[in-house]
Structure 1
Amino acid sequence: MDHTNIQPIDSPAAWVGPEVADSPEATVVLEQENIDELLQAVADAQASGAPLGEITRDDYPLPRTEPLIAKVLDQLTDGLGFSLVRGLPVFELSEPECELAYWILGSHIGIPLPQNARNDLLVHVRDQGKDYRDPEVRGYQTTATLDYHVDGSDVVALLCRRAAKSGGASRIASSSAIHNEMLRRDPQLVAELYESFAFDKRLPIDAEGPGFQLSPIFSAHQGRLSARYGRSYIESSQRHEDAPRLTERSIAALDMFDEVASSPSIYLDMIFQPGDMQFLNNHLIVHSRTEYEDHEAYDMKRDLIRFWVTLRDYYEFAPEYAVSNVTYRA
Structure 2
Amino acid sequence: MAWEGKDISLDHALGGGAPYLLILEGPQLAEIDAALRYFQSLAQPMEILNPSTFPLPGLWSILRSVSDNLHSDYGFTLIRGAPVERYTREENMIIHVGISSHIGAMRGRQDHQFKGQPADVMLAHITDMRRPSGEQNYALAAYTDSEVVFHTDVGDIVSLFMLSEPANGGESLLASGWTVYNALAETRPDLVRVLAEDWPIPSAQEPGLIKHRPLLFYQPARGSTPERIILQFSRRSFSGFGAHSRLNRLSPIQMEALDALHLLAEKSHVAMELKKGDMQFINNLSMVHARNSYVDGPDSRRHLLRLWHRDPQNAWATPEPLRNRADRIYADKFRRGPQTFFVDPIPRPVGKV
After TM superposition, the score normalised by the length of structure 2 is: 0.80
SS at match of 2:19: helix
Measured after TM superposition, the shift of residue 260 of structure 1 is 1.3
Structure 1 vs Structure 2: percent identity of aligned residues? Answer: 25
Distance in 2, matches of 1:92 and 1:86, equals 15
Contact kept, 8 Å, 1:57 with 1:107, in 2: the verdict is yes
State which drifts further: 266-275 or 42-51.
42-51
Aligned to 1:72: 66
Deviation readout 1:92-115 (Å, 9 max, x if unpaired): 111111001111111111111111
Aligned to 2:264: 260
Measured after TM superposition, the shift of residue 129 of structure 1 is 1.8
The code of the aligned residue for 2:129 comes to Q
State which drifts further: 146-155 or 123-132.
123-132
Contact kept, 8 Å, 1:220 with 1:318, in 2: the verdict is no
Measured after TM superposition, the shift of residue 211 of structure 1 is 4.3
Measured after TM superposition, the shift of residue 212 of structure 1 is 5.0
Counterparts of 1:146-165 in structure 2 under 5 Å? 146-165=148-167
SS at match of 1:262: helix
State which drifts further: 114-123 or 226-235.
114-123
Aligned to 2:126: 125
Counterparts of 1:288-299 in structure 2 under 5 Å? 288-297=290-299
Distance in 1, matches of 2:246 and 2:325, equals 17
Aligned to 1:234: 238
SS at match of 2:62: helix
Distance in 1, matches of 2:202 and 2:216, equals 18
Aligned to 1:34: 28
- In structure 2, the CA distance between the partners of 1:145 and 1:231, relative to structure 1 (3 Å rule), is same
Distance in 1, matches of 2:177 and 2:310, equals 19
The code of the aligned residue for 1:99 comes to M
Measured after TM superposition, the shift of residue 319 of structure 1 is 1.8
- In structure 2, the CA distance between the partners of 1:239 and 1:160, relative to structure 1 (3 Å rule), is closer
Contact kept, 8 Å, 2:68 with 2:314, in 1: the verdict is no
Distance in 1, matches of 2:30 and 2:44, equals 21
Measured after TM superposition, the shift of residue 14 of structure 1 is 1.1
Measured after TM superposition, the shift of residue 150 of structure 1 is 1.0
After superposition, the CA RMSD in angstroms is: 2.5
Contact kept, 8 Å, 1:69 with 1:108, in 2: the verdict is yes
Aligned to 1:310: 310
Counterparts of 1:137-216 in structure 2 under 5 Å? 137-201=139-203, 211-216=209-214
Deviation readout 1:234-286 (Å, 9 max, x if unpaired): 33499999x9x4212111111111121122xx011001111110000000011
Distance in 1, matches of 2:32 and 2:97, equals 10
Distance in 1, matches of 2:330 and 2:204, equals 21
Specify every segment of 5 or more residues in structure 1 that has no aligned partner in the other structure, as ranges.
Answer: 1-12
Aligned to 2:42: 48
State which drifts further: 47-56 or 176-185.
47-56
Aligned to 1:5: none
Deviation readout 1:1-49 (Å, 9 max, x if unpaired): xxxxxxxxxxxx1111101234422201122222112111211222222
- In structure 2, the CA distance between the partners of 1:74 and 1:307, relative to structure 1 (3 Å rule), is same
Distance in 1, matches of 2:90 and 2:238, equals 36
SS at match of 2:112: coil
State which drifts further: 16-25 or 73-82.
16-25
Distance in 2, matches of 1:78 and 1:38, equals 26
Deviation readout 1:126-182 (Å, 9 max, x if unpaired): 101289996x62222100000111111100100011111000000111111111111
Measured after TM superposition, the shift of residue 210 of structure 1 is 6.6
User: 108, 112, 115: which one pairs with 1:113?
Assistant: 108
User: 89, 92, 97: which one pairs with 2:91?
Assistant: 97
Contact kept, 8 Å, 2:173 with 2:270, in 1: the verdict is yes
The code of the aligned residue for 2:218 comes to A
SS at match of 1:25: coil
Distance in 2, matches of 1:296 and 1:259, equals 34
- In structure 2, the CA distance between the partners of 1:154 and 1:213, relative to structure 1 (3 Å rule), is farther
Distance in 2, matches of 1:150 and 1:48, equals 36
SS at match of 1:305: strand
After TM superposition, the score normalised by the length of structure 1 is: 0.85
SS at match of 1:274: coil
SS at match of 1:117: strand
Contact kept, 8 Å, 1:121 with 1:307, in 2: the verdict is yes
Distance in 1, matches of 2:316 and 2:99, equals 22
Distance in 2, matches of 1:211 and 1:240, equals 14
Aligned to 1:8: none
State which drifts further: 215-224 or 122-131.
122-131
